[in-house]
C-alpha cells in the first residue's frame, strides 16, 4: 500500500456490480496492522436492506495529515484498527479516535457536534496467538472507553470476521442516526468527494459477493 497523491487510490473492479444505500467507511490504523487485507468494496444485505460499502483506506504513519483529515471528513463511519501483536498500534487507536472526533466536530454545529461519529475498534491478526501483546480484555476496555463497539478478527484467516466487523460498524451508524447513516453530515462539503470514483449501480447485484477490491500497489 502506498500513500502517494492524488487520492483516492484507484479502485479495481472485481466481479459483479453493486446497488443499495451507500455507506462511506474509512479504515484507520498504524502502518502494518493489516488494513489492506481488510479493504474491499461490496454490497450486502443487512437487516433486509442492501448496503453498498464504499471503503477508503489510509496509509498508517506515512499518511499526510491534511490528506488524512480530508479522508476522515469524507467518511460516515470509521474502522479503527490495531494489531494484537503490536502495542504501539493499540496505543495509536485513542489518538485516531480523537482525530476523527475533532475533524467531524469542526464541521458541525448544534447538539450533534457533541456526538462522536460512529466508529468500531478492530483488533486484527488474532491468528498470531503466540505473538499476542494486547489481550482481548484490553481491547474491549479501550473500545468501551471510546464508546465504540469492538471486534477481534483475523483478516488473513476469515473474510467472514472482517465482513461481520463492517456490518457491526454499519449497525452502529444506523443506531446513532436513528436509521439514516451519515444523515448528520451529508451537507458537509468535502473536496475528496469530488475526486471519488463513481460506479454505476447494477441491478444484478450478488447480495453477499465481494464486488471491488482496492489497489494495493
Ligand atoms: N498473520 C496475519 N497477518 C496479517 C493479517 N492481516 C494482515 N497481515 C499481514 O500484515 C502485513 C501488513 O498488512 P497490510 O495490510 O499491508 O498493513 P497496513 O495496515 O495496510 O499497512 P500500511 O500500508 O503500511 O498502512 C502484511 O504482511 C499482511 O499480510 C492477519 O490477520 N494475520
Burial (CB count <10 Å: 0-12, 13-18, 19+), residue 48: exposed
In the predicted structure, residue 214 carries a pLDDT above the cut 50: no
In the predicted structure, residue 180 carries a pLDDT above the cut 90: no
Mean pLDDT for the stretch of residues 180-207: 40
Confirm or reject: Cβ of 83 under 6 Å from ligand 1. Answer: no
pLDDT tens digits, one per residue of 63-112? 677 788 888 888 999 999 999 999 999 999 999 999 999 888 776 655 55
Report the mean per-residue pLDDT for the chain: 73
Mean pLDDT for the stretch of residues 182-196: 43
Distance in Å, CA 36 to ligand 1 centroid: 6
Q: What pairing do the DSSP bridges indicate for beta strands 41-46 and 49-57? A: antiparallel
Confirm or reject: Cβ of 34 under 6 Å from ligand 1. Answer: yes
Confirm or reject: Cβ of 156 under 6 Å from ligand 1. Answer: yes
User: What are the backbone dihedrals phi and psi of residue 26, each rounded to the nearest 5 degrees, phi first?
Assistant: -120, 135
How high is the pLDDT of residue 37? 65
Query: Between residues 183 and 162, which one has the greater pLDDT?
Result: 162
How high is the pLDDT of residue 12? 36
Amino acid at each position: 500500500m502506498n500513500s502517494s497523491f492524488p487520492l483516492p487510490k484507484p479502485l479495481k473492479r472485481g466481479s459483479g456490480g453493486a446497488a443499495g444505500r451507500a455507506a462511506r467507511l474509512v479504515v484507520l490504523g498504524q502502518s502494518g496492522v493489516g488494513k489492506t487485507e481488510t479493504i474491499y468494496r461490496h454490497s450486502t444485505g443487512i437487516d433486509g436492506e442492501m448496503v453498498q460499502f464504499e471503503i477508503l483506506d489510509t496509509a498508517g504513519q506515512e499518511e499526510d495529515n491534511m490528506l488524512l483529515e480530508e479522508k476522515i471528513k469524507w467518511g460516515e463511519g470509521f474502522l479503527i484498527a490495531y494489531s494484537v501483536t503490536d502495542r504501539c498500534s493499540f496505543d495509536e487507536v485513542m489518538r485516531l479516535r480523537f482525530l476523527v472526533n475533532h475533524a467531524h466536530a469542526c464541521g458541525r454545529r448544534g447538539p450533534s457536534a457533541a456526538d462522536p461519529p460512529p466508529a468500531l475498534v478492530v483488533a486484527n491478526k488474532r491468528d498470531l496467538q503466540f505473538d499476542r501483546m494486547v489481550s482481548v480484555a484490553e481491547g474491549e476496555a479501550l473500545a468501551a472507553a471510546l464508546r465504540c463497539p469492538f471486534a477481534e478478527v483475523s483478516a488473513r484467516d476469515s473474510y467472514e470476521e472482517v465482513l461481520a466487523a463492517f456490518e457491526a460498524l454499519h449497525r452502529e451508524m444506523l443506531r446513532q442516526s436513528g436509521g439514516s447513516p451519515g444523515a448528520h453530515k451529508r451537507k458537509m462539503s468535502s473536496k475528496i468527494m469530488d475526486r471519488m470514483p463513481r460506479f454505476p449501480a447494477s441491478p444484478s447485484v450478488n447480495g453477499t459477493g465481494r464486488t471491488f477490491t482496492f489497489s494495493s500497489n
